[in-house]
Structure 1
Amino acid sequence: MGSGTTKSDGAQPSGKPWPPRGSTPTIWLSVIPYALAIFLSAFLLFQVEPIIARYILPWFGGTPAVWTTCMLFFQVFLLGGYLYAHLLASHLSPRYQALLHLSLVVCSLVFLPITPEDTWKPDGNENPMLAIVLLLLVTIGAPFLLVSASGPLLQHWFNRIHPTLSPYRLYALSNLGSLLGLVSYPFFVEPQLGLSTQTFLWSTGYSLYVVLVAWSAITLFRFATQNDSSENPGYLTGTKLCLIERLLTLALAACGSVVLLASTNQICRDIAVIPFLWVLPLSLYLISFILCFDHPRWYDRRVWVPLLLTSLSAVVYLLLQDYAETEMNLYFQIFIYSAALFACCMACHGELVRLKPSADYLTSFYLMIALGGALGGVFVNLVAPVLFKGYWEFHLGLVATLMLLGLCLYRTMEPLRSSLVLWSGGILWVGGIVAFAGFLGLHIQEQQASTILTQRNFYGVLRVNEVDIGTEFASRFLYHGRISHGRQFLTPRRLSYPTAYYGPFSGISLAISRHPQQLRLNKLEDRAQQGGLHVGNIGLGVGTIAAYSKPGDTYRFYEINPDVDWIAREYFTYLKDAKGAHRVVLGDGRISLERELANNTRQQFDILSVDAFSGDGIPVHLLTIEAFTLYWEHLKPDGILALHITNLHFDLSPVVRALAREFGKQALWIKDMADRERGNNLSEWVLVTSNQTFLKDPFVNFRIAPWTTLTELLWTDDYSNLFGVVAP
């Protein structure tokens, strides 16, 4: 997605005041509506993207695909807006352009406010990508399309009225609005304003935009009436792009879009799906547009080609550390991915600058860039999941950047170099690409090692691996991304062992085995007839927790990913071998609990565990005041809330402690060390309860670990500061 503003060779900055000194008040007055409308439209365009995505993120499980699906919608509708602007500019007279656009903008007010209705919350049976697209279409489709058309259309109108003034001077205002709209969200809008207030204020801003469009349209209409002409003299007299240049423009725009979306996926799947990590890549993408189209001096191949090669080498190193024993610092990871993204975007957009046509073909050039961006979004969201078993579109995007850059270098250097220099340089460049692709191939091969099943859907990539076959430690693992989400031994003697994060000394084991109700039931001979424990679990994994069930118990699992449910039944036996009853409810755990509560069904859990991870990312919407309120509606007064907080990058204990204090509960930190013999991983659980019998249990007190920090941080649905809990 570009900012919707570019600059051609025929409109380079002159350094002179704009409008020129000595301009009449009439000229200044005619500039104001266009300047204000273009600035506000750019701000609204980039502000609504994180607002609406943040609003619906918890509804669809907090997965990175929520943002990339939203981005696909935005890119396609940006293309639609540019196409609409191009058709108006090409086929209608100025008066009819003004009348039609103003009429549509006024009619679009019926879509305000843009707050999504709760009726759009998924029930677990629909296609999530289709559900998101339909939700966005109904909620913001028309306003977004019309706002996205403003950049090229209003600049075109301005050029009709003032053919001697460059419309590209409005470029700076548009980019300033875009950047402010994007960057202000995580640093000001999200921390200070609730989601409902955000959507209301955006709707108010859109209403102001309608007023400014009306002002601009009236100015154009008066000009066209006074001049009694449908065309400006000399219109469309510049040089346009040839077919090869058009294809290269599309390819460069698409490649930048692919790298943007794939990088965002790569960052979010292993860290967290939060607006800041959406805004950071998109801001770098936008800044690359601003720099490259501002002036040729900002894209110097002698600088950016070496920087690109260096950053891509760092990415290869980082990828090959996926399964290393030690984890690279979080900020270094973000920096490396961001540097590679920025260098790729500078290369793609810098080469786009070299292809730009004359200002007469303003809207058609915008249209090609938007089409390329949309094609990139379609590839990442629709094509890649079918072609690839992993997130390998990231690898492809990096290789494609090098290939396109090589082609651009060849085109510009061919007239200036001898055949020997071109051939030797070409061989060296192609050899480098092959070597780079080979290292990326090693990363893919490492991911697929020992894999017997790979499933990719909206919620991510799942892999089932088998290791140590033929030994007593023969095991089957479930991986989401690069994080293990469950393990089961394959040998008969160890088959029923609860493993991974759920071993006999884990926090969830302690909650189940030492719950006062469990201790009472264990003393009864007819336990099954007395009614056992009622245990809820947000997150299924491979169903390991079911190994703790006993006759009469009822275990209820909430799982958003249907593939996880299928894999747990087909490749693991914990559910099948469970001694108690169990049920898996498909859909987001929080939404399912909300729906049950709305139907006057309180589950009355003795224990509720929250263990819903996406990669190593944090499901922020499950750790807020609103979420905890819901949990305690479904827990018995003496129930235990067990939260699994094991994480590579974040220490979530301050959040859980603050929530426990808010609800008048005590929080106990239970830490279990890794045990290869029993297949247990290092795990950290926090048990939240006010059950005095449990809290005074000597066995429980023996297992409590002292807090390593005493800070507290309270999260709400409106705001959560993930960087406040980065592990030291």
Structure 2
Amino acid sequence: MTSNRLLYGVTIFTSAFLLFLVEPMAAKALLPILGGSSAVWITCLVFFQTMLLAGYLYAHWLSRGGPRHRLAHLILLAAAIVALALATHITPSGSSAHPILTIFRTLTITIGLPFLLLASTSPLLQVWLSRRESSTVPYRLFALSNLGSLLGLLAYPILIEPHLTLRAQHALWTAAFTLFAILSTLITTRSQSPTSTPIQSPTYIPTTPRTRLLWFLLPMTAAVQLAAVTAHLTSNVAAIPLLWMLPLAAYLLSFILAFETPRLYQRSIILRVLVIMIASLAWLLTKTDVSLPIGIAIPFFLIELFLAAFFAHAEAHKIRPSTPQESTLFYLLVAAGGVAGTFFVGILSPLLFRSNYDLALAFLLTSALAAYITWREAPAYRILWSAATLGMIALIVALHIAYARQALFQGRNFYGTLRVLRESSPAGPVRMLMNGTIQHGTQILDRPDLETTPTTYYAEDSGAGLAIRSIPTDHPRNIGVIGLGVGTLAAYGTPAYGGRPGDHIHFYEINPLVKPIASYWFWYMRNTQAQVAITEGDGRASLHAAPPQHFDVLVIDAFSGDAIPLHLLTIEAMQEYRRHLAPGGVLAFHVSNQYLNLAPEIAALAQAVNMTPRRIESPAQPQRGEYLATWVLAADTPTYFDQPLLATHTTPIATTLKPWTDDYSALLPVVEWGYR
């Protein structure tokens, strides 16, 4: 019996470890074709939760089948190994025009079958083991499964990503899956058909409709919290596996503690701390001008997520079934709740709302569920959580009113939430484009002398400004820009900034909402004398499909919130950029960022392709609407920086970092844990 439990335990642990190791690996492989958007991971979460539900359905079907069902299972295990062996790595299938379909199609083709088999393992083997031993459902194996999942997540950014390329990761994962398939085959060939008489626990009590509803609502609430917190962090910090992993790790840790050590759950303590955390973060949502260091912001959000998920999962554990007959139904409803929660945040919410209310809605759902769970308890709970629920409703209403009052335009799609605002500033009234909480360009109003001034990060003494002004005057300027924003760089096509008829500025923009916003609400592109072209789609992919453009300056300024599209910062990307430069041309990278110090990495990339990098820090000039900005210029020869215009503004960059490639990147070395 001990050897059986060991075999079952090792197989469950291995399946969970591989399941959550492949999630960040697969999502990272998808980032390039989808512009590095943080929504890639949220949509991947929807896929993973959907496949988890499919896996539980498969386990439900297989646990009730006979020899033919088990034979089918063995055939699918063999087919999964063959499919993984034929695919050397995960290759995106589709385009950025239909990102959600591209993600689902690619993941289904590349890891769909192995993922389904891994997802089905824990509930299936728990039922098989309970039948073999004529016992109740061994829920401790569920905690073991989640421990394997947690370790898989931790292993990826710490051990796997920094040391292995994506191709090597795929090969190693395929080998480990083969080992899992062998273990599963051993168990499947020894498994027994369902007994004719269901095994009932002596204390078995049929579940009520209310209990089954809570099996769905509790994990749904935890999943909404997971997706909302993850989306907030990855859209305003960086779309990197590190920040994908941390919220999911907190979520899994809550599962482990709820099912392995339920005595740790003290409802009164958890709920008191949870209401404080929800109230604090709700207040923070109303303060759009407040920015916390990453070392404070991330732990704060993770603690709230963990408490909310621990509450939901511990309450689900309290009302779990004790018989194999209902255990698979329990897992099905738990998985269905996870699908519903992530689907709402990842897919439905952007379609329903023009602004982002995801975090506020997560807090509302958590408060309402806490009120429902504790309604029959002490009156203090009822009052506390009823008040919290009403407070979250008030918060959503207040946010809606504030957004409507402030915004001239609001729009939301896969790539983020965009708002056009009219604000006061030291330079006077300005019109501003916001992506989440990050400014993406302004234009000064009611001051004819400054209306066409390049503002924010694009002033005359910024890296982009200096690079453009240094273009020789013996020919029209030819400028490329990856990332449209409000079209600020078109200001350099006006006579005030050296622009002349015949100049050409070509923008590349992946978000279809940005072009109409920049054309209608801002007038940089209307007032320029340069010929302006805009190509919609991912900048790197668009350049790859085009003949050499012979740019004097190619600006790389494609950011979603403060997130970094890593596929634009690799050796292969640098080689693509160089193909489009004119002789003597220069690359200008905008690297202003609250949380990441990218200059050393770009210096390493420039050196890897025999270019000379220099950093440019331009000061803030509030009276002219100019922000503190950091740029890195990369030129073919060091003599480029001997020009008087550049010599006094640029500084060398020391770096010991390994240059990133399409097959390798690691952001941990460039994370800034406090304010820069």
What TM-score results when the alignment is normalised by the length of structure 1? Answer: 0.86
Alpha carbons of structure 1 residues 692 and 710: separation in structure 2 relative to 1, 3 Å: closer
Quick one: structure 1 residues 116 and 560, their matched pair in 2 at CA, closer, same or farther if it must change by over 3 Å? farther
User: Could you tell me how far apart the structure 2 residues matched to 1:481 and 1:243 are?
Assistant: 40
Report % sequence identity: 37
Q: Write out aligned runs for 1:402-481 (5 A).
A: 402-411=367-376, 413=377, 422=379, 425-439=381-395, 442=398, 445-468=401-424, 473-481=428-436
Aligned residue in 2 for 1:668: 614
Distance 1:239 1:108 in 2: 40
| 1:103-114 equivalent positions in 2, closer than 5 A | 103-113=75-85, 114=87
Contact 2:77 2:117 in 1 (8 A): yes
User: 1:232 and 1:101, CA in 2 relative to 1: closer, same or farther beyond 3 A?
Assistant: farther
Matched, 1:198 2:165: no
1:163 paired to 2:119: no
Does structure 1 conserve the Cα–Cα contact (< 8 Å) formed by 2:433 and 2:441?
Answer: yes
Distance 1:655 1:353, change over 3 A: same
Separation in 2, partners of 1:233, 1:656: 64
CA contact (8 A) 2:233 2:243 kept: yes
Give the one of 609, 624, 637 matched to 2:570: 624
How much does 1:691 deviate? 4.5
Within the candidate set 442, 450, 461, 1:487 is matched to 442
State the 4+ residue runs in structure 1 displaced beyond 4 angstroms.
114-119, 439-449
SS at match of 1:272: coil
Alpha-carbon distance change, 209 to 692 in structure 1, aligned in 2, over 3 angstroms = closer
1-side partners of 2:382 and 2:104: how far apart? 43
Q: Contact 2:354–2:411 (CA<8 Å) still a contact in 1?
A: yes
Deviation at 1:436, TM superposition (A): 4.8
Q: 2:458 aligns with which of 498, 502, 509?
A: 502
Higher alpha-carbon deviation: 626-635 or 425-434: 425-434
Q: Give CA-to-partner distance per residue, 1:208-245, whole Å, 9 cap, x none.
A: 2222221111111xx55xxxx74356358833321111
Cα distance between partner residues in 2 of 1:357 and 1:671 = 62
Post-superposition shift, 1:676? 3.4
Q: Does 1:184 align with 2:152?
A: no
Q: Which of 527, 531, 534 in structure 2 is aligned with 1:577? A: 527
| Counterpart code for 2:538 | D
- Listed one character per residue, the Cα deviations across residues 427-464 of structure 1 (whole Å, up to 9, x for unaligned) are 34322332354456555555555211111000000111
Among candidates 491, 507, 513, match of residue 563 of structure 1: 513
Please, which runs of 5 or more residues in structure 2 have no aligned partner? 494-499
CA distance in structure 2 between the aligned counterparts of 1:284 and 1:692, rounded to whole angstroms: 48
Query: Which 10-residue stretch deviates more, 646-655 or 180-189?
Result: 646-655
Could you tell me which residue of structure 2 aligns to residue 386 of structure 1?
Answer: 351
Give 1:610 deviation, angstroms: 0.6
1:642 aligned to 2:583?
no
Deviations along 1:27-68, whole A, 9 cap, x unmatched? 344444423322221111111111100111122111111001
CA RMSD of aligned residues (A): 2.4
Larger CA Rg, structure 1 vs 2 = 1
Structure 1 residues 69 and 116 mapped into 2: Cα distance closer, same or farther (>3 Å)? farther
SS at match of 1:112: helix
Q: Kindly indicate whether the alpha-carbon contact (under 8 Å) linking 2:92 and 2:106 is maintained by their aligned counterparts in 1.
A: no
* Distance of 2:143 and 2:411 partners within structure 1: 45
Counterpart code for 2:435: H
Deviation at 1:260, TM superposition (A): 0.1
Equivalence for 1:696 = 642
Would the aligned equivalents of 1:657 and 1:712 in 2 still touch at CA under 8 Å?
A: no
Q: Is the partner of 1:348 in helix, strand or coil?
A: helix
Q: Is the 8 A contact 1:85 1:152 kept in 2?
A: yes
Question: Does 2:309 align with 1:342?
Answer: no
Correspondence for 1:418: none
AA matched with 1:77: M
Alpha-carbon spacing, 1:216–1:514, altered in 2? closer, same or farther (3 Å): same
**Which residue of 524, 543, 553 corresponds with 1:607?**
553
Query: Aligned match of 1:97 in 51, 69, 72?
Result: 69
SS at match of 1:720: coil
Aligned partners of 1:329 and 1:676: how far apart in 2? 23
Distance 2:638 2:384 in 1: 72
**Partner in structure 2 of residue 536 of structure 1:** 480
**Is the partner of 2:31 in helix, strand or coil?**
helix
> 1:649 deviation in Å?
2.4
Q: How many Å separate the matches in 1 of 2:645 and 2:420?
A: 36
After superposition, what is the alpha-carbon deviation per residue over 1:52-92, rounded to whole angstroms, capped at 9, x for unaligned? 001111221111110010110110111111112112324x2
The match for 1:243 is 209
Query: How far off its partner does 1:334 sit?
Result: 0.5
Give the direction of change, closer, same or farther, for the CA distance of 1:307–1:587 in structure 2 (3 Å limit): same
Q: Give the CA deviation at 1:312.
A: 1.9
**Whole-Å separation in 1 of the counterparts to 2:91 and 2:330:** 40
Query: 1:174 matched to which residue of 2?
Result: 145
Q: Distance in 2 between matches of 1:602 and 1:507?
A: 23
In structure 2, the CA distance between the partners of 1:715 and 1:446, relative to structure 1 (3 Å rule), is: farther
Match of 1:288 among 245, 251, 254: 254
Matching residue's letter, 1:489: I
Select 1:377's aligned residue among 342, 345, 368.
342
Q: Which amino acid aligns with 1:390?
A: S
2:497 is matched with none
Written as runs of structure 1 = structure 2, the 5 A alignment for 1:289-328 is: 289-324=255-290, 327-328=291-292
Matching of residue 79 in structure 1 with residue 28 in structure 2: no
Q: Quickly say closer, same or farther: Cα 1:650–1:690, change in 2 above 3 A.
A: same
Partners of 2:375 and 2:240 in 1: CA distance: 41
CA shift digits 1:138-160 (9 cap, x unpaired): 11112211211111112212222
Q: What is the letter of the counterpart of residue 229 of structure 2? A: S
Looking at structure 2, the residues matched to 76 and 425 of structure 1 have their Cα atoms a distance apart, in angstroms, of 34
- Give the superposition deviation at 1:488: 1.8
* Distance in 2 (alpha carbons) for counterparts of 1:107 and 1:557: 46
Determine the structure 2 residue equivalent to 1:357: 321
Amino acid at match of 2:441: G
Matched, 1:520 2:474: yes
Shift of 1:308: 0.8
Secondary structure class of the residue paired with 1:429: helix
User: What is the identity, as a one-letter code, of the residue corresponding to 1:467?
Assistant: E
Structure 1 pair 658/107, CA: closer, same or farther in 2 (3 Å)? closer
2:669 and 2:286 map into 1 onto residues whose CA distance is 25
1:581-640 CA distances to partner (integer Å, 9 max, x unpaired)? 2221211112222333xxxx2222211111011112222332233322222222234111
Decide whether the 8 Å contact of 2:92 with 2:102 is kept in 1. Answer: no
Which letter does structure 2 place at the counterpart of 1:193?
Answer: L
Matching of residue 397 in structure 1 with residue 371 in structure 2: no
Deviation at 1:358, TM superposition (A): 1.4
SS of 2:513's equivalent in the other structure is: helix
Match of 1:333 among 266, 284, 297: 297
> TM-score normalized by structure 2?
0.92
Aligned length in residues: 662
Change (3 A) 1:701 1:239: same
> Partner residue of 1:49?
23
1:218 to 184, 189, 213: 189
